[in-house]
Structure formats: C-alpha cells, structure tokens
C-alpha cells in the first residue's frame, strides 16, 4: 500500500503542476482583479476613472493592462504569430513578478520601448541559446528583449510579449489588478 500511495501522490503532483503552473509571484493571494461598470455612455473621462481607482485606500498598488493584441514577430528569418500585452510600468511590481532571466520593464523604459517575452517564445526562437538581450522585429518594429517570464505569468493568459503601454492606452477600469494592503480581505 505504501508504494501505491507514493505513486498516487506523484501522479497528482505532476497533474497539479500541469493544471496549476507555479507562478513566480510574490503573495498571489493578495491580488484582486476588478472592473468598473456604469459609465456606458463614457461621460466620465478615462483619466478621471483611473485617478479615482488609484485613490482608493484598500490597496498598496494598482495596475492594469490593455487587451492583448495579435501580432507577428520575426527573428532569424522565422515569422510567428504572438500575443502582445501592453502594461503600465508598475505592472510587474504590483503583481510581484520576478523574471526567469534578464529584467522586467520599468518607467525608464517608456522611451526605448524594450520588451519582455515568455520563456516559451524564447525557446521557440532561440532553442539552443541562453538568455541575453536580443533584437526581435515585432509587427515591423525592431525591439530589444530585456527579460524572460515564465509561460504562465498570470493564470489563463498565454501572453508571449509584454510591452510598456503609453499613458493614453491605460485603462484601469476594464482589466484592473490591485495588490491589497496587508490585512485587507
């Protein structure tokens, strides 16, 4: 019976790792996803909605993302369809994400427009290479890869590329994420 229990435990551990991939994220239980509803005619400017959300007292940081766009990436003569997510500069900090290699994006990156890509995409494009900053062409624009994230940075999302959103792209009301203050349920 001991052997059967060990095999059963191993099988369920492997299955759990496949279904619920480990996120390299600080305290994921303190993250809250939210949306803003009620302004269907868009009478309140988006910038005012964003400021109202930032001013709420239950969080220590709030971020969002712009809907993912399908794009084409080119590297070494290979063209691949990818999913690109535009995020504000505090996105990775609020989520508590850590890179698998390299670094993540920050506010300093607004002008340069570097990107972070998934480890899965890196292995597709450069199967035999260890990470080092590389140039990729994303939808006709040359971009520098500065870091790698695990395949499932957020459950349910299969993002290939993360880039810094311009301030006018940011909409905290549709895909908002907040890091709750300690002790807030």
Amino acid 103: pLDDT: 93
Query: Do the strands 161-164 and 115-118 form a parallel or antiparallel pair, or are they unpaired?
Result: antiparallel
Q: What is the pLDDT of residue 166?
A: 72
Q: What pLDDT shows up at residue 122?
A: 92
Q: What is the DSSP string of the chain?
A: -HHHHHHHHHHHHHHHHHHSPPP-BS-GGGEEEE---S-TT--S-HHHHHHHHHT-TTEEEEE--PPPEEEEEEETTEEEEEEEEEE-TTHHHHHTB--SEE----GGGGTT--EEEEHHHHHHH-TT-----EEEEETTEEEEEEEEE-TTSSTT----EEEEPPGGG--TTTSEEEEEPTT--
pLDDT of residue 168: 64
Q: Whose CA is closest to 68, among 182, 148, 159, 184?
A: 159
Q: For residue 113, what pLDDT is reported?
A: 84
Are 149 and 99 in contact by the 8 Å Cβ rule? The answer is yes
- The whole-number pLDDT of residue 157 equals 62
The residues of the chain scoring below 50 in pLDDT are 14-21, 155
What's the pLDDT at 59?
A: 78
CB atoms within 10 A of CB 23: 17
Alpha-carbon gap, residue 52 to 63, rounded angstroms: 13
**The tokens of 103 are what?**
């670094």
Please answer whether residues 99 and 116 qualify as being in contact, where contact means their C-beta atoms are separated by less than 8 angstroms: yes
Task: Look up the pTM and report it.
Answer: 0.74
Contact residues for 164 (Cβ-Cβ < 8 A; gap 6+) = 86, 87, 88, 89, 105, 109, 110, 113
- Tell me what pLDDT residue 2 has: 56
């Amino acid at each position: 019976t001991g052997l059967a229990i060990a095999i059963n435990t191993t099988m369920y551990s492997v299955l759990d790792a496949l279904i619920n991939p480990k996120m390299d994220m600080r305290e994921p239980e303190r993250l809250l996803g939210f949306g803003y509803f009620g302004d269907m005619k868009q009478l309140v400017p988006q910038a005012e909605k964003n400021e109202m959300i930032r001013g709420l007292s239950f969080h220590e940081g709030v971020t969002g993302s712009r809907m993912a766009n399908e794009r084409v990436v080119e590297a070494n003569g290979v063209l691949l369809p990818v999913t690109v997510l535009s995020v504000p500069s505090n996105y990775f900090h609020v989520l508590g994400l850590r890179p698998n290699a390299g670094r993540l994006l920050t506010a300093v990156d607004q002008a340069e427009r570097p990107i972070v890509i998934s480890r899965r995409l890196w292995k597709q494009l450069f199967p035999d290479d260890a990470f080092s900053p590389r140039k990729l062409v994303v939808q006709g624009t040359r971009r520098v890869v500065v870091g790698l994230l695990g395949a499932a940075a957020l459950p349910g999302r299969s993002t290939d590329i993360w880039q810094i959103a311009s301030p006018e792209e940011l909409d905290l009301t549709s895909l908002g994420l907040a890091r709750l203050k300690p002790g807030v349920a």
